[in-house]
Amino acid sequence: MGDTFIRHIELLGYEKRFFPSQHYVYMFLVKWNDLSEKLIYRRFTEIYEFHKALKEMFPIESGDINAENRIIPHLPAPKWFDGQRSTQSRQGTLAEYCYTLVNLPHKISRCLHVVSFFEVRPDDMSPVTDSQIRKPEVFLLPKDAKKNASDITGPIVLQTYRAIADYEKSSKSEMALKAGDAVDVVEKSETGWWFCQLKNKRGWVPAAYLEPMDGPDESEEQEPNYEGEQYVVQKSYTAVEEDELTLKEGDTIEVIHKLLDGWWVVRKDETTGYYPSMYLQKSGEVNNPEKSGLRNHNIPPRRSTISNAKSIHNKGRKQISQETYRRNSKKYMQNRRNMRGNLKNKDIISEKNEQEENKSKAQPAVPPRPSKDLIMNRCTESTRRKIM
């Protein structure tokens, strides 16, 4: 137990449950040091009791002896009646609490009390339900609303996808699938690994093995962006298929199409190809330890490599060939070069015109001083008398 510790705790949202009576539980994705990721559910009353016990264990760090020494975060007590409004509004505080808790000194963040509380329980894997009572309502916390829990509008209905082939898991954090299984997607990671649940099972699944129920195409997939976004390669990869690219750590490339299966189309000079998105990091971003941990996972498989894939849709999903990517990319880059050339020519012409204009506006030359005889010949009689 002493070797086990938590790397990160992410608040995903909360559930409104109706058995044995109406109540609310928070959903946490707990990421462990062995790179496994577990989904757990906790009532706020449980979390507060955990918090009180932690303060008793570490009275100095909780500020009980001297308030200036407090490093254990504050947590408000439960209300006499905890309804949906308080459950929702408390999420920002709770997310901040978990972040601070994991980053406390190891004697606190890795103690048995913390590790035990966030371990998976039997009812996390198989929540007690009653078939006669309505299913729980899920309220997910949108990624762009993590800092503002009031943005939640829920309930959010989890999207259901179908497995197109059998999948055997290769780690504890993954979930095995059988062709035809209908799974609910809890989280879509841009790495191509999606966190799903199937009845009482939960785990990560390759997005390539899943298809939407209402059609072959993924509505959330973006269109290609041939302008490209600059990324830096964080881990080398050697191409296996002809349409992939071989890149080395530290290479700078441009991403021109972000695909949901985790294999992005990238451009290096004028060459394009697929590359695992989990090995890329946007230029200028600080290295994220969570992403670094994910790079130790296996890269997700590509749909083109799945054998015995069976879709329920008669029409195949739209797919752009690498030849089309290359042709459109070269056309865009040529247009960009032409535009830059035109702008440069315009600047040169403008500069020449400005020089000509300045010449025409130049000051006239000062004439030479006339001689004394010339002055005497041209001056008036009155002036001549004065000089004489």
Q: What DSSP assignment string belongs to 44-99?
A: HHHHHHHHHHHHHH-TTTTTSS-GGG--SPP-PPPPSS--HHHHHHTHHHHHHHHH
pLDDT above 70: residue 295: no
For residues 181 and 25, give the distance between their C-alpha atoms in angstroms, rounded to a whole number: 27
| 243, 231 Cβ separation under 8 angstroms | no
CB-side neighbour CA atoms (13 Å) of 379: 15
The DSSP code for 151 is G
pLDDT band at 378 (very low <50, low <70, confident <90, very high): confident
Range with top average pLDDT, 80-84, 120-124, 216-220, 287-291? 120-124
- Tokens describing residue 38: 């577990």
The DSSP code for 155 is P
Higher pLDDT, 132 or 93: 93
Give me the percent of the chain exceeding a pLDDT of 70. Answer: 84
* Exposure class string for 265-274: b at 16+ Cβ within 10 A, else e: bbbbeeebbb
Q: What is the pLDDT of residue 221?
A: 73
Q: What is the pLDDT of residue 137?
A: 85
Residue 151 to residues 93, 143, 154, 357, Cα–Cα distance (Å): 14, 11, 9, 59
Q: Minimum mean pLDDT among 79-83, 126-130, 324-328: which range?
A: 126-130
For residues 249 and 323, give the distance between their C-alpha atoms in angstroms, rounded to a whole number: 26
Reported as a single tens digit per residue, the pLDDT across 125-155 is 877 665 556 778 888 887 655 444 444 444 5
* Exposure class string for 303-341: b at 16+ Cβ within 10 A, else e: beeeeebeeeeeeeeeeeebeebbeebeebbeeeeeeee
Q: What is the pLDDT of residue 348?
A: 66
Closest C-alpha to 136, from 205, 182, 184, 94 = 184
